[in-house]
Amino acid sequence: MTGSLIILTGAGISADSGLATFRDADGMWSKFNWQDLATPEAFARDPQQVHAFYNARRAQLSDVAPNDAHRALAKLERDWMAAGGQFLLVTQNVDDLHERSGSKNLIHMHGELTKMRCVHCDYVDVAFEALSTDLPCLNCRRADVLRPDIVWFGEMPMQMDMIMEALESCTLFAAIGTSGTVYPAAGFADLARQAGARCVEINLDATDISTGFDECLTGRASDTVPNWVAGLCETTP
Ligand code: APR
């Protein structure tokens, strides 16, 4: 268990915890119009509608729990780093299930449902209650300046410098539960392969980027990920 392991997760890893994915038949974007809810323009047009969408998703977090896939990745991080390897978990998910299962070396490249950000002074804090345009920023005290700390379509994902630097020295890359339709995350496997990494895809079904992987494991993440982690711990020196 040496070398640099990078894992990218998407909505599919949280599906078995009861959180909707985005592009499955019953996914979020089949019920809601992302152009009205997940863009800076939508927030400027109707902030209360956007707040209501994220407030409902944030409230749902207290009704769900990590599943065996989240727990397996937290164990893999501990074992991999205890053996002297480098480990980074990059998630596109904005839920808090990776943290709640014990993952530490974690980047939320699309932001976090549990946080809020002031558009005036950039203050970030825990969104301890439902957000609204009436709630003042705790730092600059202005009203009508708080937004969900979420990366919307058209915005730059978070901590990309750290992610790109890690991909340059990656030896093993796994993409779990992501459709591979949204860049830059959908291009991470190509970058890892260019660095000489072995690339593994774990998904319910094949995706548009499956051909770019050395190995594709299909099935529900809460089944396939613990099995993959167990196999990795047995076979990797
Ligand atoms: N186990 C494993 N994979 C699953 C499961 C499951 N139980 N259920 C669904 N999947 C797979 C689907 O087959 C699909 O390939 O998870 C993937 C989910 O794809 P999307 O819904 O597109 O979610 P994601 O790839 O995370 O979307 C990326 O798009 O809308 C934006 O910001 C949003 O972060 C999100 C980004």
pLDDT recorded at residue 234:
77
Q: Which residues pair with 89 in a beta bridge?
A: 7, 106
Residues 6+ apart with CB under 8 A from 3: 85, 86, 171, 172
Of 70, 108, 110, 120, the catalytic one is 110
pLDDT recorded at residue 237:
59
Residues 6+ apart with CB under 8 A from 157: 109, 110, 151, 163, 184, 185
Q: Is the pTM of this model over 0.75?
A: yes
Pocket of ligand 1, candidates 95, 204, 213: which has the most ligand atoms within 8 Å of its Cβ, to mutate? 204
pLDDT recorded at residue 54:
98
pLDDT recorded at residue 136:
95
pLDDT over 80 (residue 235): no
User: Which tokens go with 48?
Assistant: 């209360």
User: Which bin fits 122, alpha (ψ -120 to 50), beta or left (φ > 0)?
Assistant: left
pLDDT over 70 (residue 236): no
